[in-house]
Amino acid sequence: MSGNIELLNTTLAAAKAADRAALIAYLPAGFPTVDGGIEAVKAVVAGGADIVEVGLPHSDPVLDGAVIQTADDIALRGGVRIADVMRTVREAHEATGVPILVMTYWNPIDRYGVERFTAELAEAGGAGCILPDLPVQESALWREHAEKHGLATVFVVAPSSQDARLATITAAGSGFVYAASLMGVTGTRASVGAQAQELVGRTRATTDLPVCVGLGVSNAAQAAEVAGFADGVIVGSAFVKAMLDAPDEAVGLAAVRSLAGELAEGVRKR
């Protein structure tokens, strides 16, 4: 069975044709529970998210700040497994019809087996993977299997990436390029900063892939700002924090749906 890279491509193209950026939401699988995580994905899509990244909880999430680390810890203590991540992708995609990617560090895939992981993700209807710590020069095996199964390979670029390095990364990727808006970990910020716009410009000089910006966006004004220069706006910590701060799951789901609505309005006001 082939994965949904084409759905991802057409979703991003449709947002561009509508003269807006795509809203990409991140939520960890298994948080607050596996069922609750699936409902959270449905809620952000109902609010207006175009694409969803499902995080594979990890014990040492080097790109993630305190908010997502807390959610990952809750998921891991709850016993979440890769099978639960695949179930989250499957049920969320079946319920919403939007592209669902998995964001994961490399070690769980390496231990699980690349062929097994890509085959199962494609069978679940996944659109691809975001791999923040997989070096491009060591990615040939992953890319071979991802391409075979119709999955996007999304690499992360940072403000520190030199132009030659950007060209190497973007040439190897597919789906879109994840541009980290700043040096540091995930989390909400008061300002996204000019670094992100410069990085998007330098990245676009190397590729025709859409360039989507993450790290720091938490409100409609910031979403509108980033949407002015990026093809997609990625929001994670703000959604996770809304769930963490809620007194119960129902309130949390309402909060993430509402936040998605505000952000979706923001990306349309660029």
Active site residues: 53, 64
Q: What six digits make up the tokens of 128?
A: 């691809």
Contacts (Cβ under 8 Å, ≥6 apart) of 24: 49, 50, 51, 52, 53, 212, 214, 232, 233, 234, 235
* 8 A C-beta contact, residue 174 and residue 209: yes
Rounded to whole angstroms, the Cα distance separating 15 from 92 reads 21
H-helix or E-strand spanning residue 220: helix 220-227
- Report the distance separating Cα 67 and Cα 218, nearest Å: 13
Structure tokens at 147: 């391409």
Cβ–Cβ < 8 Å for 214, 236? yes
Spatial contact of 153 and 128, defined as CB atoms under 8 Å apart: yes
The C-alpha R_g of the chain, in whole angstroms, comes to 17
